[in-house]
Amino acid sequence: MRFVHRWSVLLVCLSFAVGSVRLSAAEPRIGDALKPFVESSSLAGAVTVVANKDKVLSLDTVGFMDVGAKQAMKADSLFWIASMSKPITGTALMLLVDEGKLKLDDPIEKYLPEFRGMWVAVEKDAEHVLLKHPSRLVTIRDVMSHTSGMPFKSEIEQPTLDGLTLRDAVRSYAITPLQTEPGTKYQYSNAGINTGARIIEVVSGMSYEDFMDQRLFKPLGMKDTTFWPNEEQVSRLAKPYKPSADKTKLEETTISQLTYPLSKRHNRYPMPAGGLFSTGADVATFCRMLLNGGELNGKRYLSEESLKTMTSKQTGDAVKDGYGIGWSTNGMTFGHGGALATNMTIDPQRGLVTVFLVQHAGFPGDGNKSQGAFVKAANEAFGK
């Protein structure tokens, strides 16, 4: 059975948003690298994109968006991109840095007074917690690079992470003691990124979701990037899968961090650290803007200086993990993954963007090698 499809007609329609796309029989089919994983039932399906500064080079689909119904993956299938939302939020915040409306080394309490008088836990066990005031104030740079000392989330963010308004979620972080001194340790924190997003609201005077729509999504033509997929978009949503108990096959699952139905806006709020849904074409558009130095189709979104800062290591020499302002970075490439194994990577040296969209909470068999197989095929076909 053939699982890989080339959606040339759709790509021509999308070319205004993601660049001119030319397809020919001679071009490599990057999705072919993933066929063995689908055939062994270790991967349900995927959408992959390879792009350069000028255009999309490859947009391929493989496998199924619904395994049980044998519904083939489509080029415009929608995915929960989870923590890939973090660098998009980081980029939005840097727009305000460019405008001189905030500085990365500003204390967060300058914009959010609820954080005045914070505490840090210096001793903690089952019987007691010893608190003191931190040695310095938490900055915007800290919260956006996971070095603030904030926990992953607050205790009241349950059972899902989208049940509180951004204002209320951030207030809950303000009354939660820091777990480490600011700037001393990398500790992955949704709370930190959400705090940065709340600062976007305060500084811009707009809701976070409206700021994202008006400053990034609509201008870039990212029409399928949203916190609330509508009914039509839900019909294109790839189903999430997990490995069976014996790790031999796939089982359908749900997105445990979010509240269903996903299209409802009542009592389900945007989660800046991980709530976005998107498509391969939209993610590639966003990444191409950054590969082009913050500019796309003649419109500048971000200064080159802010782009360099955002994608450079902000975690200091004492911290091993490389993290910028919302971005993972290793000095050569920058990108981010998501909870269901999605990934976007920008490689300025090769001049390539790679986007890998799946919906997997773990893989049976060798499924965890599928992303590496895709990246290898992309670099061999298009890398400089």
Reading the chain (384 residues) residue by residue, the pLDDT tens digits are: 333 444 333 333 333 223 223 344 445 678 899 999 999 999 999 999 999 999 999 999 999 999 999 999 999 999 999 999 999 999 999 999 999 999 999 999 999 999 999 999 988 877 788 999 999 999 999 999 999 999 999 999 999 999 999 999 999 999 999 999 999 999 999 999 999 999 999 999 999 999 999 999 999 999 999 999 999 999 999 999 999 999 999 999 999 999 999 999 989 999 999 999 999 999 999 999 999 999 999 999 999 999 999 999 998 776 676 999 999 999 899 999 999 999 999 999 999 999 999 999 999 999 999 999 999 999 999 986
Considering the domain architecture, whether residues 260 and 310 belong to the same structural domain is answered as: yes
Summarised one tens digit per residue, pLDDT across range 217-261 is 999 999 999 999 999 999 999 999 999 999 999 999 999 999 999
Considering the domain architecture, whether residues 166 and 228 belong to the same structural domain is answered as: no
The DSSP 8-state label assigned to residue 318 in this structure reads: T
- Give the SS3 label for residue 12: helix
Considering the domain architecture, whether residues 44 and 121 belong to the same structural domain is answered as: no
Dihedrals phi, psi of 187, to nearest 5 degrees: -145, 105
Quick one: pLDDT at residue 230?
Answer: 97
Extract the runs of DSSP E, i.e. beta strands, from the chain.
5-6, 45-51, 56-66, 71-72, 79-82, 120-124, 129-132, 241-243, 250-252, 276-278, 295-296, 299-300, 328-329, 334-337, 343-347, 352-357
Token duo for residue 194: 């959400």
* DSSP per position, 31-100: GGGGHHHHHTTS--EEEEEEE-SSSEEEEEEEEEEETTTTEE--TT-BEEEETTHHHHHHHHHHHHHHTT
Please state the length of the chain.
384
Quick one: pLDDT at residue 129?
Answer: 84
Considering the domain architecture, whether residues 185 and 228 belong to the same structural domain is answered as: no
Whether residue 299 lies inside any domain: the answer is yes
> Given its phi and psi angles, is residue 346 left (phi above 0), alpha (psi -120 to 50 degrees) or beta?
beta
According to DSSP, the β-strands at 276-278 and 295-296 are unpaired
H helix or E strand, kind and range, residue 167: helix 166-174
Considering the domain architecture, whether residues 64 and 154 belong to the same structural domain is answered as: no
Domain count within the chain = 2
Quick one: pLDDT at residue 318?
Answer: 67
Q: Give the CATH number, domain containing residue 300.
A: 3.40.710.10
Considering the domain architecture, whether residues 362 and 224 belong to the same structural domain is answered as: yes
Whether residue 94 lies inside any domain: the answer is no
Extract the runs of DSSP E, i.e. beta strands, from 202-357.
241-243, 250-252, 276-278, 295-296, 299-300, 328-329, 334-337, 343-347, 352-357
- The last residue of one of the domains, among 157, 181, 207, is 207
Range of the domain at 52: 5-86+209-382
Find the distance separating the first CA and the last CA of the chain, reported in whole Å: 33
Q: Give the CATH number, domain containing residue 178.
A: 1.20.58
Quick one: pLDDT at residue 29?
Answer: 78
Residue with tokens 């007691």: 128
Considering the domain architecture, whether residues 114 and 197 belong to the same structural domain is answered as: yes
